[in-house]
A and B are shown apart, each in its own frame.
Chain A
Amino acid sequence: MSDDIEEGIRVRARELLSLGEVGCVVGYERSPKGRIRPAFVYDAGDVHRLVWDQTCHHNLMVYLRERVAPSRTNEAAPRTAVVARPCDVRALNVLIHEGQVIREQVFVIGVACPGMLDGEGVAEHCQRCKERTPVFYDALVGRAPKVDVLDETWADVAGLEAMSPAERLAFWTREFDRCIRCYACRQACPGCYCFECLVEQVDPSWVSIAHKVPEKAFFHVMRAYHLAGRCVECHACDQACPMHIPLSLLNRKIAKEVKALFGYVAGGDPEIPPPLATFRKDEELPL
């Protein structure tokens, strides 16, 4: 199955590059040590570098805004092709709605995704994912695999909710204590594209430069709020964190609230704009 997808990606990439349809194909490759990583292929002769399997956990949409953001395309920048799983396309959807990426500048090589591996089996968040194929694409590789989708029980969030405020504070203090403020979570997140992050702003300086729990907690909680209704649950943050902090748990709690309030799943439908970027005069919230 992965081999079919891999070959499909290569064929499409070769075609797009040799026809001059795109200037670059962003996909995955293996490092000389065999580690999966983002790949940038500019030449049709290099498409053999592209690979695909169930360890391709990076959300490649993070690379689009530096290539095909509206501010970048004045000089008739070449289009970019990108390999995208269903969650990646949800992220792309968010970016397009927010005016960060011009849809026409991107060629989406959609992947029929069986879910990413986490240790022995398919990661839990992938088992919950209802989409086997992306909500849109320009070309699809692979065939939608039959997968038993886990019911959305929010069991992970329930664990958090069952804690008293003091217990929750203790839990997150323990987790954030080992954060090193490397911002790998933010940099790996397609939803985080601020030119200057609030925690790094100098004038005015909102947050101290200290690597202490209050600053770290502020950063993570702020980031989670900024991703309300925008986080696509790709878990790129968890994957990037060198300290293995369960960052996506914060996003999950907020995703649950957004689902309950708006019936909205981030990026799930290209036609529906994100609720927190929408204003309706007559709207009433059951708050």
Chain B
Amino acid sequence: MKAITREALTTWLDGLTGRYTLIAPRLVEGELLYRSVTASAEIVLEFRRTVLSPKTFFLPDTQVVLEVEKRGTETTLAEPEVVKEQVIIGVRPCDARGLRALDALLLDRPPADAYYAERREKTTLIGLACPRLWEDCFCTSLGGAPDDASDVDLMFYEGRTGYWLSVVTEKGAALVEGLRTEETEQALPASDISGERVPVLAPDGWSALFDDAYWQRLADRCLSCHACTYVCPTCRCFDVRDDTTAAGPGYAHIQRLRAWDSCMAAAYRRIAGGHNPRPSKAQRLRNRYYCKFCYSPIDFGAVACVGCGRCIAVCPVAIDITEMLADIQYPISST
């Protein structure tokens, strides 16, 4: 096991900023957000949970995927700029695990999403283990753990004077080459995995509950905002739109944008002609949960929830996904 002092880590991170786009938790107007940093001093590594996961660095909230310029009869197409190699430090194990859900849709089955694949390829993930489960966390109920290193390239574990360090992948090994670490015989302090285990219904159990009155009652308080989907490390829906950004006689500039979209939005599912198969908020809220625990495992082989607790923490009306998972053990239709 390698160990690194805080001072050595600082020096190393400052060195990385020259070679990579370094992304880390940084305080922005009082909110802790993953942002690119230019110096290690901006980085906050002592935290519980950031408001957003780092998914925007793989599936950006806004992305230009194509630019078209028309001058007279001449049309020029331009592809988006190439992404620089990026390193994200301070990634929680649950967020890293969340990338599995994005991979399943955008990478694992051909054709891969070229923009996502490029970012995934060019990113090195430095994990930061949680010493324990925080308020609202339930990663251990979904196969994760606060110190699970399966989905990162390098893993840091916080110690008293510095960090323990474990190299997980070749990418991770390449990154720490030349890093001054000390070998230590001491065993890694294990994270505390105590905390309530949430019962998770198996994918094939959900179809029997589809028409249960529970969803209507649960959605009574739902405001149909997009907060839960945008803070979620596994929600991966997007919209694509062409915008004319400039136009004049014989000239037009068009951008094709891809941006996050949310299944909580009333118009999300609306189709040509105006029909909406999910007009009510209860149908939409139910769909979000079915997507995570029923459709995703059946279609892609894994539950699309990592128990990060963000949707619970941000919901303005305290809708709690763990409460739902507990409630549906005793459906209304069976009582």
Residue from B33, B227, B260, B320 whose CB has the most chain A CB atoms within 10 Å? B227
Whether the pair B227, A184 counts as a contact (CB closer than 8 A) is: yes
With A182-B225, A187-B224 known to touch, is A196 a contact of B267 (CB < 8 Å)?
A: yes
With A38-B317, A211-B61 known to touch, is A62 a contact of B223 (CB < 8 Å)?
A: yes
Number of interface residues of B (CB under 8 A): 38
Whether the pair B316, A188 counts as a contact (CB closer than 8 A) is: yes
Whether the pair B31, A180 counts as a contact (CB closer than 8 A) is: no
Which residue in A182, A184, A205, A243 is a CB contact (below 8 Å) of B31? A243
Whether the pair A240, B257 counts as a contact (CB closer than 8 A) is: no
Q: Which of A87-95, A126-134, A171-179 contacts B (4 or more CB under 8 A)?
A: A171-179
Residues of B within 8 A of A36 (CB): 318
Which residue in B28, B227, B261 is a CB contact (below 8 Å) of A178? B28
CB distance from A197 to the nearest CB of B (A): 9
A146: interface (CB < 8 Å): no
User: Contact string, B209-251, partner A, CB cutoff 8 A, digits 1/0?
Assistant: 0000000010011011111001100000001010100000000
B51: interface (CB < 8 Å): yes
Residues of A within 8 A of B317 (CB): 37-38, 58
A211 to B239 alpha-carbon distance, docked (Å): 12
Which residue in B51, B241, B323 is a CB contact (below 8 Å) of A31? B323
Whether the pair B220, A184 counts as a contact (CB closer than 8 A) is: no
Q: Is the interface of A mostly helix, strand, loop or mixed?
A: loop
CB distance from B50 to the nearest CB of A (A): 11
B111: interface (CB < 8 Å): no
A183: interface (CB < 8 Å): yes
Whether the pair A40, B259 counts as a contact (CB closer than 8 A) is: no
Residues of A within 8 A of B243 (CB): 205, 208
Whether the pair B29, A174 counts as a contact (CB closer than 8 A) is: yes
Q: Which residue of B lies closest to A245 (CB)?
A: B29
A211 to B314 alpha-carbon distance, docked (Å): 19
CB distance from B30 to the nearest CB of A (A): 7
Which residue in A32, A37, A209, A244 is a CB contact (below 8 Å) of B259? A209
A267 to B224 alpha-carbon distance, docked (Å): 25
Q: Which residue of A lies closest to B222 (CB)?
A: A187
Residues of B within 8 A of A181 (CB): 226, 230, 260
Whether the pair B241, A208 counts as a contact (CB closer than 8 A) is: yes
Which residue in B28, B225, B226, B266 is a CB contact (below 8 Å) of A177? B28
Which residue in B220, B260, B323 is a CB contact (below 8 Å) of A40? B220
Whether the pair B267, A200 counts as a contact (CB closer than 8 A) is: yes
A264 to B52 alpha-carbon distance, docked (Å): 40
Whether the pair A188, B225 counts as a contact (CB closer than 8 A) is: yes
CB distance from B163 to the nearest CB of A (A): 28
Residues of A within 8 A of B267 (CB): 196, 200, 202
A280: interface (CB < 8 Å): no
Whether the pair B223, A209 counts as a contact (CB closer than 8 A) is: no
The 6 closest A-B pairs by CB, nearest first: A37-B318, A240-B316, A187-B223, A184-B225, A211-B61, A242-B314
26 of the cross-chain contacts (CB-CB < 8 Å) are A31-B323, A32-B320, A33-B323, A38-B221, A40-B220, A178-B31, A180-B52, A180-B227, A181-B260, A182-B226, A183-B225, A184-B225, A184-B227, A184-B314, A186-B225, A188-B223, A188-B316, A196-B266, A196-B267, A202-B267, A209-B239, A209-B261, A210-B62, A210-B259, A211-B260, A243-B51
Which residues of B are at the interface with A, using a C-beta cutoff of 8 A? 28-31, 33, 51-52, 61-62, 136, 217, 220-221, 223-227, 230-231, 239, 241, 243, 257, 259-262, 265-267, 314, 316-320, 323
